[in-house]
Structure 1
Amino acid sequence: MATINTPQARYSTGAIILHWLIAIAVIVNWRLAEAAEHLEGPAAAAYMNPHKALGITVLVLTAIRIAWRLMNPPPPMDPNYATWERMLAKTVHAIFYILLISIPLLGWIATSSFGRGIDMFGVFELFALPVANDPEAGKWVIGIHKALWTPMMILIILHILGALKHQFIDKNGELGRMIPGFGKR
């Protein structure tokens, strides 16, 4: 049984790498979209093209992360966590996965609705999905895509606050489970 000041088992190296790659990609992608928000034409495309490619990268990395998690179960939670903390953690993670799949997928559907594929960083073009060429539907899907960023940001904040609470208030070494070199193992 875990006790205060005893670090919990760490996540696997693969889980840690995927976690941080996805986290960084999501933050960079959010900033790219924000930068393009009030631009038009080529200036907007300069931000939106990498935004779309990075979104597909997040989708692929999330699929890999889910497969990794199925093959490499996460370490157990601290047994001292309250039932509500366990439920909240599981719910936040489940919703994260749903959003990390649905947000980029909706972006791909929206782009496809305009009859376009996605330029993957100038290396190749990802095909358009087989959806109707319907710009009005594309605009509607983009609206949903954008609206899902609010719950994503709320989850990111909850996730960070939860980790900080466990690390600095509960003093259970939680951050050392996911941040390489943080705290004692």
Structure 2
Amino acid sequence: MSKHQRYSGVAMLFHWVIAGLVILNWRLAENAEHAAARAEKIAIFNDHKAVGITILALTIGRLAWRLSHPVPPLPSGYANWERILARSTHVIFYVLLIGLPIGGWLANSLGGQQIEMFGLFTIGALPVGSNEGLSEEIFDLHKTGGTIMIYLVGLHVLGGLKHTFFDKDGGIFRMLPFGKVGPRSSL
């Protein structure tokens, strides 16, 4: 098996850490929405915001890594629609991984809020002035984007499982340091 069929160890680390943080952040948002006490809701959303900024920083790092290191080609057995779906999904992931944290930061800034990074430091509000109405509209878009992200994660997982267990091309093992990746990939 050629190591060029797999993503690099650094790309794998970025992928799995960001994936874990996305799932954590989704759960934090859900827990905050269902919190009984206002103080509890605020505390949970503070963690949600800090995790979001962490995702943003890691995604920028991941993009820098991806631009400077070759990505393994898709397996040659992929149908054209699978190639288009795979590439489109990745683009949408990057748009959401960058857009959701920036949108959340912008909405907080418009509401006059800073972002506390786990009690370690504070990220100031963007210099956008105050506009509660716009802040709420952006938060609504942020929530919709988060829902799209979770559906996209589900689609991504289903695709990986399909390629691994039905197509038997080892699709999921392209992003893991173990397991058998299928036949040689092509561009």
The TM-score with structure 2 as length reference comes to 0.91
Whole-angstrom distance in 1 between the partners of 2:179 and 2:169: 12
Deviation at 1:7, TM superposition (A): 9.2
4+ long deviations beyond 6 Å: none
Deviates more, 1:93-102 or 1:34-43: 34-43
User: 1:80 aligned to 2:77?
Assistant: yes
Partner residue, 2:28: 32
Whole-angstrom distance in 1 between the partners of 2:114 and 2:3: 46
Partner residue, 1:23: 19
Partner residue, 1:90: 87
Whole-angstrom distance in 1 between the partners of 2:77 and 2:164: 13
Contact residue 114 and residue 134 of structure 1 kept, 8 A: yes
Paired letter, 1:173: G
Aligned length: 181
Paired letter, 2:93: F
SS of corresponding position for 2:15: helix
Deviation at 1:67, TM superposition (A): 0.8
SS of corresponding position for 1:151: helix
User: 1:109 aligned to 2:106?
Assistant: yes
Partner residue, 1:154: 151
Aligned ranges 1:1-185 → 2 under 5 Å: 9-39=5-35, 40-183=37-180
Paired letter, 1:139: E
Paired letter, 1:159: H
Whole-angstrom distance in 1 between the partners of 2:160 and 2:181: 16
Aligned residues with identical type, % of pairs: 48
For residues 148-172 of structure 1, what are the alpha-carbon distances to aligned partners after superposition, in whole Å with 9 as ceiling and x for unaligned?
1222122111111111111001111
Whole-angstrom distance in 1 between the partners of 2:181 and 2:55: 31
SS of corresponding position for 2:122: strand
Whole-angstrom distance in 2 between the partners of 1:173 and 1:7: 13
Paired letter, 1:34: E
Whole-angstrom distance in 2 between the partners of 1:153 and 1:31: 11
Whole-angstrom distance in 2 between the partners of 1:49 and 1:32: 10
SS of corresponding position for 1:148: helix
Contact residue 174 and residue 181 of structure 2 kept, 8 A: no
Deviates more, 1:37-46 or 1:69-78: 37-46
**Gap runs ≥5 in structure 2:** 183-187
Whole-angstrom distance in 1 between the partners of 2:114 and 2:64: 26
